[in-house]
């Protein structure tokens, strides 16, 4: 004969064990989902960090390129300032006894006209080159003072190494 209360206790114990197993499975499943979300977040963060490193490297390369271009530009400005100084010296009043440009123009107008026409032509070519025109073969191969564009030799005659 069976004790009536004993079967209820067994059922309650078995039910509690089943509930504990089911609860444990639910809890482990939740932990696995949390772990998967955390792993996905870690991967996204690693990807974001790599993207930031790549961006920083790119910015550093850009900065180096800008520094190089700026240095080249400053060098070109220095050269053009030297050429401007030489041009200003041509028109300066002479204190050493040499004729000034105005005196020369009054005494030899034909000579001055030829000089001005040649200089104007060369200055226009300098403007074309500064705006991106290609160098001609004659400009590239000029090595003598008589062959160069005297208005902008560094721009028009890159192979000229004279004074």
Q: What is the pTM of this model?
A: 0.46
Q: What is the DSSP letter of 92?
A: S
Short-list 74, 94, 87, CA closest to 122: 87
Q: Indicate the helix (H) or strand (E) that contains 10.
A: helix 4-91
Domain ranges for the chain, please list them: 102-158
Q: What is the DSSP letter of 159?
A: T
Average pLDDT rounded to a whole number, residues 75-95: 79
How far, in Å, CA of 64 to CA of 58, rounded?
A: 10
Q: When comparing pLDDT for 63 and 126, which is higher? A: 63
pLDDT tens for each residue of 8-53: 888 888 889 999 999 999 999 999 999 999 999 999 999 999 999 9
Q: Which residue has the tokens 């209360």?
A: 5
Q: When comparing pLDDT for 155 and 95, which is higher? A: 155
Q: Indicate the helix (H) or strand (E) that contains 105.
A: helix 101-107
Which pairs count as long-range contacts for 85-89, CB under 8 Å and 24+ apart, including other chains? 87/151
Length of the chain: 163
DSSP, collapsed to helix, strand or coil, labels residue 14 as helix
Q: By percentage, how much of the chain surpasses pLDDT 90? A: 40
């Amino acid at each position: 004969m069976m004790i009536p209360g004993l079967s209820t206790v067994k059922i309650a114990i078995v039910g509690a064990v089943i509930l504990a197993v089911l609860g444990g499975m639910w809890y482990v499943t939740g932990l696995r989902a949390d772990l998967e979300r955390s792993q996905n977040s870690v991967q996204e963060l690693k990807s974001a960090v790599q993207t930031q490193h790549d961006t920083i490297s790119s910015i550093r390369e850009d900065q180096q390129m800008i520094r190089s271009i700026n240095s080249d530009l400053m060098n070109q400005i220095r050269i053009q300032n030297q050429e401007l100084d030489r041009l200003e010296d041509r028109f300066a009043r002479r204190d050493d006894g040499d004729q000034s440009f105005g005196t020369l123009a009054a005494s030899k107008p034909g000579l001055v006209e030829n000089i001005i026409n040649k200089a104007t032509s060369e200055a226009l070519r300098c403007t074309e080159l500064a705006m991106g025109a290609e160098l001609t073969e004659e400009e590239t191969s000029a090595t003598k003072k008589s062959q160069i564009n005297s208005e902008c030799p560094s721009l028009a005659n890159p192979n000229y190494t004279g004074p």
